[in-house]
Amino acid sequence: MHPHNDTAIAVRNLVKIFEKRNSTPVRALDGVSFTVRRGEIFGLLGPNGAGKTTTIRILTTLLKPTGGRAIVGGHDVQLSPLEVRKQLCVVLQDNAVELYLSVIDNLKTFGRFHGMGRQEVQTRMDQVLGLFGLDDVRHAKAIDLSGGIKRRLQVAKVFLVDKPIVFLDEATTGMDALNKRATLRAIRDEASKGRTIVLTTHILEEAEELCDQLAIINHGTIAASGSVETVKALGLGFLTLKLEFAKVPATLLKWLKSLDPLRIETKGSLVEMTISKETNLISLLSRINKERTITSLQVTGASLEDVFVELLDKQKGSLA
Amino acid sequence: MNAIGAVMYREYKIRITSLMWLFYDLLMPFAYLLIFGIGLDRAFTSGVVVQGSLVSYNEFFLAGVLSMACFGIAINTSYGFFIDRDNGIFYEFLTYPMTRGEFLLGKIMFNCLTAITQAMIAVALGSVVLGIPVRWEFFPLVLVGVSLGTAGWFFFLAIFALRIRRNDMFNTFINVAYFILMFVSSMFYPLDPMPAWLRNASYLNPITWHTDALRYFTIGVGEFATVALEAGAFFVFLVASFIGAVKTLQRMS
């Protein structure tokens, strides 16, 4: 494997088998391959247990692969783990803060671990505290903070240091909408400065908004990969209808479900449903309107979520 | 070296958040000497015979207390792995730019400084308050001894703290280890009058090797050749435990 100069991460045929005494080995990754270019935001999407976190743990040298190869920042994760660690910083899925230290001491110790000088930490710290709305709690001990603020602190740490590659495993979990916005903005800003960001998320809108490239992983294999548009194009056979009614009683929802859409969701008076392009749209809309008056209507192509659900359903079907 | 310094800085930051810890760490050996030591000193007014030398129980117990303090710091430091795992920070540490060996060394080096400080306090107060005749010319070697003792026991216990996932199981392990290692040793009583099985078992115990060396360097009891052999054996134990702990950390990856 000879990665190009603009390659930040190259993963080829990565396999991870977890073997436990007295139980069947679990094949968590089964030949995963992808490439991430420098300065790119790369999303690794997939349902629970798909292999996202296992992939991140291998790329951050926390786990050794059973087979295949991964190059991070020009170094092999198995042959030069220390050199790999020098290139990256990570937000793990679990909360990871020093509970008995204050917010600023958490940042100071993290900076120190990543080789920053006292002055450099001080300068960056003020910026990061402001960026993540941690100014008011700077002297509070982490143990006294709410779950969401602890998560903000954990994410803030990686923006304190200037490592070329950042891994964010479900980074916005537990954050309120405001802080989520700030975090997404910070991720975008960092990428525009040339940092490579690899993120995993369950929130597909987040991935759609942020990622330059993504890979959908399921049962330890890559189900689809490419730019957001490329992956969405896989769902060209679908349409998403956003229908607004004065009210959505349970009877209406039941009736809409009887039309057999590929996906249906309600948010207050809004119903979002995905249908196949082969469906006669005019006839369908006319039937719905007869049942209950549609107050507003929007028809779009498939969303990333539609493609995601469809791909996973297809895989499920082929495995069954 | 920067990585070791960073781990030491982190250990220091954590430790100074609790004054109670600081008090326990620094004054515990002298407090033990003052209460337990004086109690037994009064009970055995005729003193104890160690390898032909008659010494007061306080004199005898000084090295035992220093050795026990090293073991205590090592337990607390290895228990820190459980706290770090509960906080979720443990796995984040393993992604920091340092080797597994640097992580372990940094973790124990700050605690060796604590052990040195508490040894200085215990020996100085033991000499002034309890009148223990300390061999001051060997005092630097006592400080080296407590550092190596703390490190050796930390590396040994770290192997178990990293392998055992359950907090309660580790506590049970520590209680059993504490009981066997401390009482089947020369920490609390001289081995000469003990039954052969206890004496022989005690000579297989690294706590005996460590305590005997500290006793030789604090009050001059024992034979140099035996102490040198025991010190050498303890150093081998330390190196083997360090390799074992690093390998355990690497295997966790």
Do the beta carbons of residue A298 and residue A262 sit within 8 Å? no
Q: Which of A78-82, A91-95, A312-316 has the highest mean pLDDT?
A: A78-82
What CATH homologous superfamily does A7-232 map to?
P-loop containing nucleotide triphosphate hydrolases (3.40.50.300)
What residues in A contact B18, CB-CB < 8 Å?
100
Looking at chain B, the whole-number percentage of residues with pLDDT higher than 70 is 99
Lowest mean per-residue pLDDT among A57-71, A226-240, B143-157, B193-207: A226-240
Using DSSP's 3-state secondary structure scheme, residue B228 falls into helix
CA atoms within 13 A of residue A6's CA, in its CB half-sphere: 4
Give the bridge partners for A45, in sequence order: A201, A216
Q: What is the mean pLDDT of residues A184-198?
A: 89
Is the pLDDT reported for residue A286 higher than 80? yes
End-to-end CA distance of chain A: 35
What residue spans in chain A does CATH classification 3.40.50.300 cover? 7-232
Q: For chains A and B, count residue pairs whose Cβ atoms are closer than 8 Å.
A: 74
Q: Which of A89, A104, A113 to mutate to test the interface with B (most CBs of B within 10 A)?
A: A113
Is the pLDDT reported for residue B241 higher than 90? yes
What residues in A contact B96, CB-CB < 8 Å?
85, 113-114
pLDDT band at B222 (very low <50, low <70, confident <90, very high): confident
pLDDT band at A268 (very low <50, low <70, confident <90, very high): confident
Q: A237, A194, A198: which is closest to A217 by C-alpha?
A: A198
pLDDT band at A235 (very low <50, low <70, confident <90, very high): low
Range B158-165, long-range pairs (CB < 8 A, 24+ positions): B158/B77, B158/B78, B158/B81, B158/B104, B158/B241, B158/B245, B158/B248, B159/B241, B159/B244, B159/B245, B159/B248, B160/B78, B161/B78, B161/B79, B161/B81, B161/B82, B162/B81, B162/B245, B162/B248, B162/B249, B162/B252, B163/B248
**Domain coordinates in residue numbering, chain B:** 2-251
Q: What is the mean pLDDT of residues A236-261?
A: 85
Lowest mean per-residue pLDDT among A105-109, A252-256, A297-301: A297-301
Strands B48-50 and A294-301: unpaired
Do B87 and A88 make contact, defined as CB atoms within 8 angstroms? no
Q: Which residue of B has its CA nearest to A101?
A: B14
What pLDDT, on a 0 to 100 scale, did the predictor assign at position B61?
A: 92
What pLDDT, on a 0 to 100 scale, did the predictor assign at position B47?
A: 82
What pLDDT, on a 0 to 100 scale, did the predictor assign at position A195?
A: 92
What pLDDT, on a 0 to 100 scale, did the predictor assign at position B34?
A: 85
What residues in B contact A89, CB-CB < 8 Å?
95
Q: What is the mean pLDDT of residues A29-36?
A: 94
Do the beta carbons of residue A45 and residue A214 sit within 8 Å? yes
Give the bridge partners for B31, in sequence order: none
Burial class (CB in 10 A: 0-12, 13-18, 19+), B19: exposed
Using DSSP's 3-state secondary structure scheme, residue A266 falls into strand
What pLDDT, on a 0 to 100 scale, did the predictor assign at position A133?
A: 86
pLDDT band at A317 (very low <50, low <70, confident <90, very high): low
What pLDDT, on a 0 to 100 scale, did the predictor assign at position B8?
A: 93
Looking at chain A, the whole-number percentage of residues with pLDDT higher than 90 is 42
Q: What is the mean pLDDT of residues B94-106?
A: 92
Is the pLDDT reported for residue A244 higher than 80? yes
Tally DSSP H helices, then E strands, for chain B: 11, 2
Q: What is the mean pLDDT of residues A64-93?
A: 94
Is the reported ipTM for this assembly greater than 0.85?
no
Q: What is the mean pLDDT of residues A275-279?
A: 78
Pick A92's closest partner by Cβ from B6, B13, B91: B91
Fold for A237-301, please state it.
Alpha-Beta Plaits (3.30.70)
Is the pLDDT reported for residue B173 higher than 90? yes
Identity of the residue numbered A68: G
Is the pLDDT reported for residue B73 higher than 80? yes
What pLDDT, on a 0 to 100 scale, did the predictor assign at position B52?
A: 81
Looking at chain B, the whole-number percentage of residues with pLDDT higher than 90 is 64
From A99's Cα to the closest Cα of chain B, the distance in A is: 7
Strands A213-218 and A41-45: parallel
What residue spans in chain A does CATH classification 3.30.70.260 cover? 237-301
What pLDDT, on a 0 to 100 scale, did the predictor assign at position B51?
A: 80
- pTM recorded for the entire structure: 0.80
Q: Comparing B134 with B38, which gets the higher pLDDT?
A: B134
Rounded CA gap, A103 and A273, in Å? 44
What pLDDT, on a 0 to 100 scale, did the predictor assign at position A29?
A: 94
- Can you read off the two tokens belonging to residue A233? 């194009």
Angle at A258 between CA A254 and CA A263, to 5 degrees: 90
Do A82 and B94 make contact, defined as CB atoms within 8 angstroms? no
- Can you read off the two tokens belonging to residue A8? 């930040």
Do the beta carbons of residue B90 and residue B81 sit within 8 Å? yes
Rounded CA gap, B124 and B222, in Å? 22
pLDDT band at B1 (very low <50, low <70, confident <90, very high): low
The pLDDT tens digits of the residues spanning A93-139 come to 888 899 999 999 999 999 999 999 889 999 999 989 988 889 999 99
The per-residue pLDDT of chain B, averaged, comes to 90
Is the pLDDT reported for residue A320 higher than 60? no
Using DSSP's 3-state secondary structure scheme, residue A65 falls into coil
Pick A85's closest partner by Cβ from B5, B89, B96: B96
The per-residue pLDDT of chain A, averaged, comes to 87
From B253's Cα to the closest Cα of chain A, the distance in A is: 4
Do A61 and B88 make contact, defined as CB atoms within 8 angstroms? no
Q: Which of A40-49, A306-315, B49-58, B234-243 has the highest mean pLDDT?
A: B234-243
What pLDDT, on a 0 to 100 scale, did the predictor assign at position A86?
A: 94
Do the beta carbons of residue A271 and residue A257 sit within 8 Å? no
CB neighbour list of residue A83: distance below 8 Å, 6 or more residues apart: A73, A75
What residues in A contact B9, CB-CB < 8 Å?
109, 112
Give the bridge partners for A168, in sequence order: A91, A199
What pLDDT, on a 0 to 100 scale, did the predictor assign at position A313?
A: 72
Q: What is the mean pLDDT of residues A4-29?
A: 89
Rounded CA gap, A185 and A206, in Å? 11
Is the pLDDT reported for residue A318 higher than 70? no
Q: A63, A62, A7: which is closest to A33 by C-alpha?
A: A7
Rounded CA gap, B132 and B123, in Å? 8
Q: Comparing A148 with A318, which gets the higher pLDDT?
A: A148
pLDDT band at B238 (very low <50, low <70, confident <90, very high): very high
Identity of the residue numbered A168: L
